[in-house]
A and B are shown apart, each in its own frame.
Chain A
Amino acid sequence: MTFKDQWRFVRRNMKRSKSRIFMTILATAMGVAFLIVLASVGFGLHTTFIDDIIRDRSVTKIEISGLEKDNDIAPITDEEITELEKVDSMKAVTRQLSLRQTPQFNIEDYSGSVETVVSHFPSELKAGMELKEGDLPEDPYEVVVGPHFIENLYPDDLPVDEEVYDEDGMMKEEFKYEESLIGKEVDMVVEQNVDDETKEHEITLTITGIVEPPARDWMQDRQVYISEDVLTEIESFTETSRGAIIDPNYPDAEEEVTGYDKVYGYANSLEEVQEISEYLTEENYLVYSAASELDYLNTFFTIAKAGLIFIGTIAIIIASIGIYNTMTMAVTERTSDIGIMKAIGAHPKKIKQIFLLESSYIGLIGAFIGTVVAFVISILLNIGLPWIIESAFEQELPEGFQFSSIPPSLILIAAVICLIVTVLSGLKPAKRATQIDVLKAMRREI
């Protein structure tokens, strides 16, 4: 008996009990739709979180904090930087030197103490650093500042008991420096203790640009990015490495410091981060990247999605009771036909195949209809839920927020689960069909 003929039999038999088959398919479709919609929430939130993280360039960032040499940790120097830049898939290697004191910056009637660093701008630009306003410095006494630099500037005439910050911890608008910083001259005041006396040195710098804010709202960049020439001037004033202030309580300040304070490697993709990290670890570099955090997130969501799929599967299992019932009734109704077919010479295996084909067919149609319904629900969820949240809780959801997502893999998983469950539920009735006694089926007297 060919597959085509078996298929013809199945369709003929199904036509005989249309309404029952329809209800069974409906139950299966509901089960599949429930599974897909439930799991789609896991998939949607996972996608949203991953997209959110990937948008931030720090995901492709690898922190390189030192090199293990002779059981000691050595700082990264220009020699290692050259090596690191040669590593396969390494997009850029940024490095920063930090000034070992926090200078005061005076601009017109405003002043504030801000952390100061020396950055290598070509590599920063390669890594994705962008300027919000202005240009990069061309002269050694030109600087760029972080986008939140302004938050550290206080009016000189600020009364002592005045509350400067609002309830969110941000500087109140009335105290903020309002003018554009671009092109403004700023006096950087560095200090040094000489013979129990604090001496100051003033360097005038011009702000040429403001760095683009970090991808995250909660991240702040208040730094001033100076040139190596300015650092050299500071060091010649303080006579210490990186402008450290001499303090009898901290004799370390006078020690010579070598190497960069912050070195970051940048990859093009998350996969490359893993690759580069493994390679650098082998080369005895001390590395840390956000990829490990992402791994944790992926594991968490994979477990969550598996859990949701499991709960959804229960719905399909409940629907399978209907399939079992339908198939059992079909076998009972067709007992006589099965008996005749067996008497003529139908192999029990073929009879089993016909019934399994029928239950699989119910499962497949159910899976198809369920998937279509799930897509519609998913679209409605993505449109309706943000609207409900926004109007009921007056809370705006982040841009690109996706509550429900149905990737092809989820459809495949649902279809496979549905097919397995329906075939299993049709297995016993199909086996019963093969065990039908020919003589009893034909109601013969023995």
Chain B
Amino acid sequence: MIDVKDINHTFLLGKKQNETALPVLKNISFSVDKGEILAITGKSGSGKSTLLNIIGGFMKPTSGSVWIKELNVTKLNEGEYADFRLDNIGFIFQNFQLIPSMTAFENVELPLVLKGLSVKERKEKTEETLEKVGLSNYHHHYPSELSGGQQQRVSIARTLVIEPPIILADEPTGSLDSETEQEILDLITGLNRDLGITFLMITHDEEVAQIASKQIHIHDGEIVKEEVSA
């Protein structure tokens, strides 16, 4: 499903951007099979977020390639990647990234609006998805009127509504308390189990990583350990 091949990434720091080269990812290669949950763990500054950004198409690697569904996505331009993302990749962010001026319903509906679906289709799918994440009664609530857990559910619903085969999650429970964290993790494992969605999740929390079927530990931009859960 996802093949990461020899990814190297270096940040150029300094005034002229060539004074100091800071390598953040070194020869990263791994693959994620369909229906797997892969957790990438590592300390802050280890390079795991940079890796997720490269896979998500928000950054271009210095070298190497990312293949998703047998397509070299690192060669896509911004517009092409946007179209690819809309059909294939969902995102769950640590700080939810909901549009504050839109209600929960409108936030979830947004990807369908971008896809150009009819109003009727959008309404049906959005209601169905909000019900799936347990927010049937919060359609007209703005993000500021929801708790952290509810906001993350809205964020997950926005991801699910397009039924993506892959979801990239960046510290999905990073901003939540332990009780809500478990709820979200249960939701993720349920979606993986019931819908067969492939998850690639980064976390610094070893406990969160336990829900993954495979774990990769990164240290100083290098994979130092790979584990497959029994």
Contact = CB atoms under 8 A, between A and B. Distances in A.
A341 interface: yes
Contact of A340 (B84, B85, B97): B97
B114 A341 contact: yes
A446 B116 contact: no
A335 to B, nearest CB: 12
B116 A1 contact: yes
B interface majority secondary structure: helix
Interface residues of B, number: 31
A348 B58 contact: no
Given A1-B113, A16-B101, A337-B101, A345 B82 contact: yes
Interface string A126-140: 000000000000000
B58 A344 contact: no
Interface in A8-27: 12, 16
Nearest to B87: A345
A188 to B, nearest CB: 93
Contacts of B11: 446
Interface string A428-446: 0000000000110010111
Given A349-B79, A446-B50, A340 B116 contact: no
B135 interface: no
Contact of B111 (A344, A438, A442): A344
Contact of A344 (B53, B84, B101, B158): B158
A349 B78 CA distance: 10
B49 interface: yes
A2 B119 CA distance: 11
B1 interface: no
A397 interface: no
Given A350-B114, A439-B58, A340 B99 contact: yes
B53 A446 contact: yes
B93 interface: yes
Contact of A343 (B50, B87, B91, B101): B91
Nearest to B24: A446
A350 B58 CA distance: 18
B187 interface: no
A12 B114 contact: no
B59 interface: yes
Interface string B21-60: 0000000000000000000000000000110010010110
Interface string B92-112: 010101110100000000110
A345 B97 contact: no
A347 B76 CA distance: 13
A148 interface: no
Interface in B111-130: 111, 113-116
A345 B79 contact: no
A444 B49 contact: yes
A442 B93 CA distance: 10
A436 B65 CA distance: 24
Nearest to A434: B78
Given A16-B101, A445-B49, A1 B82 contact: no
A347 B59 CA distance: 16
A340 B154 CA distance: 14
A343 B97 contact: yes
Given A350-B114, A439-B58, A344 B79 contact: no
B101 A12 contact: yes
Q: Which of A16, A339, A446 has its CB near the most chain B CB atoms (within 10 A)?
A: A446
A446 B46 CA distance: 11
Contacts of B111: 344-345
Given A1-B116, A341-B114, A347 B50 contact: no
A279 to B, nearest CB: 61
B15 to A, nearest CB: 19
Nearest to A2: B116
A344 B106 CA distance: 14
A100 interface: no
Nearest to B45: A445
B78 A348 contact: yes
A347 B49 contact: no
Given A344-B86, A348-B78, A446-B50, A1 B114 contact: yes
B145 interface: no
Interface string A367-387: 000000000000000000000
A337 B99 contact: yes
A336 B59 CA distance: 18
B113 A438 contact: no
B97 A347 contact: no
Contacts of A349: 79
Interface string A332-358: 000011011111111111100000000
B78 A345 contact: no
A5 interface: yes
Closest 5 pairs between A and B when the two form their complex, measured CB to CB? A345-B86, A345-B85, A347-B82, A438-B58, A5-B113
9 contacts: A1-B113, A344-B85, A345-B83, A345-B111, A349-B79, A439-B59, A444-B170, A446-B11, A446-B50
Given A344-B114, A345-B84, A444-B49, 17 more contacts: A1-B116, A2-B116, A5-B113, A340-B97, A341-B114, A343-B91, A344-B85, A344-B91, A344-B111, A344-B158, A345-B111, A346-B86, A347-B83, A439-B53, A442-B93, A442-B97, A446-B49
